[in-house]
Structures are given as C-alpha cells and as structure tokens.
C-alpha cells in the first residue's frame, strides 16, 4: 500500500512495524506466559502475547473491592463490615476479578489477533470502531472482518506495545482499503483519518 509501512511477513513478522501511538501504559506483563493459545488454524505463528502478571492482578483486584466497601460504609456505617452478606458479595467478586485478570490472554501474529477464543485478520478488516464501555470508564477497539468481530479493551491491547504495533499497522492498511471507521476512532488516532480514502463523517 503506497504511503504505508510494508506488511510484515506472516511467518517471521519482518520487517517490524513502526511504533504505534498509545493512550495507555498497561499492567505488568507475565514475563514467560505459562499458557499461550495456539494460533488460529492456517495462520502464521504467535509472535506476541500479553497476559497480566500475578503481581499486577493481585495489586489491581482489591481496588474495586475497596470502593464497594466505601459505598457500604457510607450507606450503613462501619456496621456494614459485620454483615455476613457484605463478605458473601465481596469475596466471590474478588476471586472473579483475579480469575478474569489472569484468564485474559491476548495473542497476535503478523496479520491476525486473537482474544478469548475469537480472532480476526487484521489486514482484512471491514470495520474498525472505538467504543466506550462501563459508563465511560474503559475503551475498546472493535475489529470486524468478514467472518465476525472482537472487542478488545484498549488498556489490554496496548499493554504489550510490540503486539499493538502489529495490530495497528493492520488497522492502517485495512482503513486505507476502505474499512469503516467512526469519529471516535479517528479522534483517538488522527493518523487513521489521513489513511482513509474518504475521512469525512462517520463511516
């Protein structure tokens, strides 16, 4: 694609994509992931992956628990700490947060990305959207090819910059080939508005 960095080889990942713009400096990655999903059938090898480290998960999981405790105390005073149902809610919720933090494994090859068992071809996207989740508390990039789509939290996908570099270059090529975008995506990544053949209005 004229004007864009070349597409890397699907097997070697060379040449490496240039550094992609980031909004998030994510959690601490597991240095040697103990569980890396296989690449999708018929695709090139896993070149990059991200799984949040145990330390990072254990440090971040208590934050919403503390916030909920504050809400309970404001509502019922410190007596709320003596209610059995307070802990019946908080303990399973804490366990869920730890499990979820450790189960989210993101993998990418030179031209694909996979999350929670679903994957897309990053150079064959027909739609790339920027979505706000959780009442504005988090953001997702929603990638769709002709076989379906996946939504990946931006905080997660940008936590491994090398992985994000591969995905972002595929997004740029797809947008240049006519993939639909929304204004929120173009505002977050102005470079994509330049790549798009027709960047005016929501597409």
pLDDT tens digits, 80-104: 788 888 788 887 877 666 556 556 7
Q: Using an 8 Å Cβ cutoff, are 120 and 145 in contact?
A: yes
**Between 134 and 146, whose confidence is greater?**
146
Report cis status (omega within 30 of 0) of the bond before 15. yes
User: What fold is seen in the domain 105-195?
Assistant: PH-domain like (2.30.29)
Mean pLDDT of the 134-156 span: 85
Domain boundaries defined on the chain: 54-101, 105-195
Contact assessment for residue 28 and residue 53, using Cβ atoms and an 8 Å cutoff = yes
How much is the mean pLDDT over the chain?
83
Strand, helix or coil at 46? Answer: coil
3-state secondary structure of 71: helix
pLDDT category at 69 given cuts 50, 70, 90 is: confident
pLDDT of residue 19: 95
pTM of full prediction above 0.85? no
pLDDT at res. 177: 94
Question: What per-residue confidence (pLDDT) applies to 20?
Answer: 95
What pLDDT does residue 203 have? 54
Task: Give the rounded percent of residues in the chain with a pLDDT score beyond 70.
Answer: 79
């Amino acid at each position: 694609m004229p004007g864009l960095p070349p597409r890397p080889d699907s097997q070697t990942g060379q040449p490496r994509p240039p550094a992609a713009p980031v909004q998030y400096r994510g959690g601490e990655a597991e240095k040697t992931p103990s569980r890396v999903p296989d690449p999708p059938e018929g695709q090139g090898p896993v070149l990059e992956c991200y799984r949040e480290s145990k330390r990072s998960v254990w440090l971040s999981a208590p934050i919403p628990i503390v916030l909920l405790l504050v809400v309970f105390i404001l509502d019922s005073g410190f007596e709320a700490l003596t209610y059995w149902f307070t802990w019946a809610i908080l303990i399973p919720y804490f366990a869920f947060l730890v499990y979820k933090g450790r189960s989210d494994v993101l993998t990418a090859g030179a031209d694909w990305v996979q999350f929670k068992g679903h994957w897309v071809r990053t150079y064959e996207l027909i739609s790339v959207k920027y979505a706000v989740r959780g009442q504005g508390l988090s953001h997702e990039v929603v990638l769709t090819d002709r076989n379906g789509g996946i939504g990946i939290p931006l905080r997660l996908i940008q936590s491994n910059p090398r992985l994000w570099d591969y995905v972002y270059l595929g997004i740029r090529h797809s947008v240049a080939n006519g993939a639909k975008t929304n204004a929120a995506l173009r505002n977050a990544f102005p470079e994509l508005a330049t790549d798009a053949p027709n960047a005016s209005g929501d597409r």
